[in-house]
Chain A
């Protein structure tokens, strides 16, 4: 027995209902994100990638990454770091011998430096929207799309440098299993990053936030996407999700070390980070 928003359902029912939710919101997912959070979700995702500070060559697994927001930001970040790296190398190439010039032609000058991001999502519709977006925006290199379940990832052990799950872990039925899978697929030294809605500590802000969540968001859902119930589920699931400290304890249980969290907007959103050591 588990929960779906404020209802009590079985685990099977929950998975099915969540599947339906995302199938129906997939096409309007990004538009709704912008309107619900007034565009601030872009800043949250920027903070996540900046915190990750990926270097060229990083292998990223973005779970529940559906429409690819984190993946695209990751690629942009790595591209700019790589450009700076190549420029710095050029600066040293002032007085070169012929041999050194010949060597520099063989050097790896790829724009991503070997970085790769795998976007994994359980919902086909979300992946479809993501792939279309990637084509529109021109992202092709270093990007792959995989259909998979966070509770049972279709990857080998010790494969990835960073595992991110942005606004996805809330929809996982067995969070502990997802955390264990995250631990499994990460390389030693790898980092787990989770961006998710969390509990607001400030009581005044909490009241305003509740008001906004329950009065405004479902209405926006109905008006923009024609789907009141999905967005009702969204705000209810936020309330049902464990608060920061509890999630931190769960991450530690999965075996991660140096687990910490950073509140954004006084707890509306929190970034949890842990390392596989």
Chain B
């Protein structure tokens, strides 16, 4: 509380000069002129533009005022990264692209100093954006199926479409994608990139209707991850029109995976049959040689 009282009255007006723009874009309310009003309307400005924060900020005062600004910091960072994506084809996944993104938003290029200098945050931001888009797409499809407006796809078709949709999002940045993949493989990035990858695969299988609770849960995800990664690699050196070769590769891999499932069952039942046959043969031989007789 002391901090807020000591700061000059202009602070609420100036302080969030850029952050204010976030809420301005959400609603065009005229800003209060006096600083006192600023204090009260500041929380109100931010409220509708963001997710509900619980108790009314004017009561919780400093704490939530800070958390609102903190949230706006993150939002601003997201906005800068989103704007920076436009400059990736030209500058690559680098701090330069982020600087250009900041300049596009009207900020100084020095704002790129907020992010790591190797551009990894830009790539991770892009990945999570793609995953979100994919989830929304799959959810919409599911809704259509539930409302009866679309046919439920067979599982191999579903998986194929989902992976294709997700890979297509990378196409605009394809030239620089190998750079992105190599940055993601760096040790300090592996935890985040791995978790994004696994949550994406989980999403796809969830919407595909996978309800397994045994070892299949793991094997399915492992198989799909392998299919996704290999298809991604194929796509990067694919020069066929509209990446036909890639989608054919994907189709074949998924067909293989499906067959593998059937084959596993067949192998098991064949195995059982063979074992029974051998047992029978053993008993017959024992009978023939008279070992089975109890004397």
Binding site for B on A (CB under 8 A): 51-55, 57-58, 161-162, 180, 183, 186-191, 249, 253, 255, 257-258, 273, 275-277
CB <8 Å contact, A55 and B109? yes
Asked, given contacts A55-B96, A58-B110, A161-B109, whether A189 binds B11 with beta carbons under 8 Å apart, the answer is no
In the assembled complex, which residues on chain A have CB atoms less than 8 Å from the CB atom of B17? 188, 276-277
Chain B, residues 233-262, CB within 8 Å of chain A (1/0): the string is 000000000000000000000000000000
Q: Known: A253-B3, A258-B73. Is A277-B110 also a contact (CB below 8 A)?
A: no
Chain B residues with CB under 8 A of A273 = 113
Taking the nearest CB of chain A, how far is it from the CB of B94, in angstroms? Answer: 11
In the complex, besides A162-B110, A191-B110, 15 extra interface pairs with C-beta distance below 8 angstroms are A51-B113, A52-B110, A53-B117, A54-B110, A55-B99, A187-B110, A189-B106, A189-B107, A189-B108, A189-B109, A255-B7, A255-B11, A258-B114, A275-B111, A277-B73
Q: Which of B6, B15, B73, B110 touches A255 (beta carbons < 8 Å)?
A: B15
With both beta carbons as reference points, the residue of chain A lying nearest to B99 in the complex is identified as A55
B residues near A (Cβ < 8 Å) are 3, 6-8, 11, 14-19, 69, 73, 76, 95-96, 99, 102, 105-114, 117
A-B contact count (CB 8 A): 74
Are A191 and B7 interface neighbours, CB within 8 A?
Answer: no
Closest B residue by C-beta to A180: B8
Task: State the main secondary structure of chain B at its contact with A.
Answer: helix
Q: How far is the CA of A189 from the CA of B16 in the complex (A)?
A: 11
A-B pairs with beta carbons under 8 Å apart, 10 shown: A53-B117, A54-B110, A161-B110, A190-B111, A191-B108, A255-B7, A257-B19, A258-B114, A275-B110, A277-B19
Q: Chain B residues near A190 (CB, 8 Å)?
A: 108, 110-111
Pairwise interchain contact B99-A191, C-beta atoms closer than 8 A: no
A-chain residues with CB within 8 Å of residue B102 when the two chains form the complex: 189
CB-CB under 8 A from A187, the residues of chain B are 107-108, 110
Q: Which residues of A contact B96 (CB under 8 A)?
A: 55
Q: How far is the CB of A272 from chain B (nearest CB, A)?
A: 13
Identify which of A53, A191, A255 contacts B95 (C-beta below 8 A). Answer: A53
Residue contact A57 to B109, C-beta cutoff 8 Å: yes
Smallest CB–CB gap between B103 and chain A, Å? Answer: 9
Q: Enumerate chain B residues within 8 angstroms of A54, measured Cβ to Cβ.
A: 110
Chain B residues with CB below 8 A from A180, complex form: 8
Cβ–Cβ < 8 Å partners of A53 in chain B: 95, 112-113, 117
Given the complex, which residues of A lie within 8 Å of B7, measured CB to CB? 253, 255
Supposing A253-B3, A277-B18 touch, asked if A188 and B106 sit within 8 A by C-beta, the answer is yes
Which of A52, A58, A249, A277 gathers most chain B CB within 10 Å? Answer: A277
Given contacts A53-B95, A277-B18, A277-B76, whether A257 and B69 have CB atoms under 8 Å apart is yes
A257 CA / B74 CA spacing, docked (Å): 11
| Residues of B with C-beta under 8 A to A276 | 17-18
Taken together as a complex, chains A and B put the C-alpha atoms of A183 and B14 apart, in Å, by: 10
Q: Which residues of B contact A161 (CB under 8 A)?
A: 108-110
Residues of B within 8 A of A257 (CB): 19, 69, 73
Q: How far is the CA of A187 from the CA of B69 in the complex (A)?
A: 19
Please name all residues of chain B whose beta carbon is closer than 8 Å to the beta carbon of A58 when the two chains form the complex: 109-110
Q: Residue of B at shortest CB range from A57?
A: B109
Minimum CB–CB distance for A182 against chain B, Å: 13
B76 neighbours in A (Cβ, 8 Å): 277
Task: Return the contact of B18 from the options A51, A52, A189, A253 (Cβ within 8 A).
Answer: A189
Measured in the bound complex, the distance between the Cα atoms of B75 and A78 in whole Å is 30
CB proximity of B102 to chain A, nearest CB, Å: 6
Nearest 7 pairs of A and B residues by beta carbon: A189-B107, A189-B111, A189-B108, A191-B110, A187-B108, A161-B108, A255-B15
- Closest Cβ of chain A to B145, distance in Å, is 44
CB-CB under 8 A from B14, the residues of chain A are 183, 255
> Hey, which chain B residues are within 8 Å of A52, CB to CB?
110, 113
A253 touches B73 (CB 8 A): no
Q: Which residue of B lies closest to A183 (CB)?
A: B14
Measured between beta carbons, the chain A residues less than 8 angstroms from B109 are 55, 57-58, 161, 189
Give the shortest distance, in Å, between B95 (CB) and chain A (any CB).
6
| Contact pick for B6, options A57, A162, A183, A253, CB 8 Å | A253
Q: Contact at A275–B113, with CB atoms within 8 Å?
A: yes
The distance in angstroms between the C-alpha atoms of A277 and B112, with both chains bound, is 12
- Which residues of B sit under 8 angstroms from A191, Cβ to Cβ? 108, 110-111, 113
**What B residues does A51 contact at CB under 8 A?**
113
Among B73, B95, B96, B111, max chain A CB count under 10 A is at B111
Smallest CB–CB gap between B276 and chain A, Å? 70
Which B residues lie within 8 Å of A277 (CB)? 16-19, 73, 76, 111
Q: Give the residue name and chain of the A residue nearest to B113 (CB).
A: A191
Chain A CB within 10 Å — which of B73, B96, B108 has the most?
Answer: B108
Of all chain B residues, which has the CB nearest A88?
Answer: B91
- Bound together, the chains give a CA A273 to CA B112 distance in angstroms of 13
Closest Cβ–Cβ distance, residue B46 to chain A (whole Å) = 14
Residue among B14, B15, B17, B109 with max Cβ neighbours from chain A (10 Å): B109
